[in-house]
Amino acid sequence: MIKIHNLYKKFGKNEVLKGIDLSINEGGIFAVLGPNGSGKTTLIKSILGMVIPNSGEIQVNGMSVKQNFKYRDEIDYLPQIANFPGNLKVNELIAMIKDLRASKTANDKELIELFKLEPFLDKKLVNLSGGTKQKVNLVLTFMFNSSLVILDEPTTGLDPISLLRLKKLIAQEKEKGKTILITSHILSFVEEVADEIVFLLEGKIYFKGSIADLRAQTKQPDFEHAIASILSDSYA
């Protein structure tokens, strides 16, 4: 599904990614973790073609991302911050995104029902709460049934009921054989949904594998203490 070889990225003198090698197989849920400044966002945006690496190779579904936009047709992306045009109504935004991706069938009605957005469809986005905007963000992300789904901090602003619905939705998408890539600072959420994690530190991969393997490697009793152990070692 995703193959990354020897990926480097600098912003000025700041080396953000330092020779990343990573393979993510098709199907399953993978969480990319790491402290602020570890390179998570740069890695995700490089996969999406939003950041151009200084060197290295990225392939998605066997296609190189260099000078190629067609591979993005099979990616659904949820950005961390949903910057929607405030003057649009929710139903207008959904219709606009459907027009932009007219080659793909949308199942927005089912997702609107799931996240109980019917009362908000005729409201302008500028008047919505952060949590409601995130539900709209989730509808836009999941309504096109692509094989790769990238979720950047998907739990932001969600109430407990909506969080449960999101977890159920992610599990259903996994059952369809999709590859789901998640970044999140909520360790309990990651522990519940992820099959594997990739932990970045200072632009390098510190660990890739299951949470059970991480606990064994760090000799810690639970996921939270295992992550804390990594960070304690790195900043000692």
The HSE-up count of residue 15 (CA atoms within 13 Å, CB side) is 10
- For residue 188, the model assigns a pLDDT of 94
Q: Are the beta carbons of 51 and 65 closer than 8 angstroms?
A: no
- For residue 58, the model assigns a pLDDT of 95
How do the domains of the chain map onto residue ranges? 2-234
- For residue 235, the model assigns a pLDDT of 52
- For residue 122, the model assigns a pLDDT of 97
Round to whole Å and give the CA distance between 134 and 116: 12
The total of other beta-carbon atoms located within 10 Å of residue 154's CB is 26
How would you class 152 by CB atoms within 10 Å of its CB: exposed for 0-12, middle for 13-18, buried for 19 or more? buried
Global pTM?
0.93
- For residue 161, the model assigns a pLDDT of 96
114-170 pLDDT, tens per residue? Answer: 999 999 999 999 999 999 999 999 999 999 989 999 999 999 999 999 999 999 999
Q: Could you write out the DSSP letters of every residue in 196-221?
A: EEEEEETTEEEEEE-HHHHHHHHT-S
How would you class 69 by CB atoms within 10 Å of its CB: exposed for 0-12, middle for 13-18, buried for 19 or more? exposed
Cα 60–chain centre separation? 15
CATH node for 2-234:
3.40.50.300
- For residue 223, the model assigns a pLDDT of 94
Below-50 pLDDT ranges, the chain: 236
- For residue 80, the model assigns a pLDDT of 85
Strand ordering across the sheet containing 55-60 = 14-24, 2-11, 55-60, 63-64
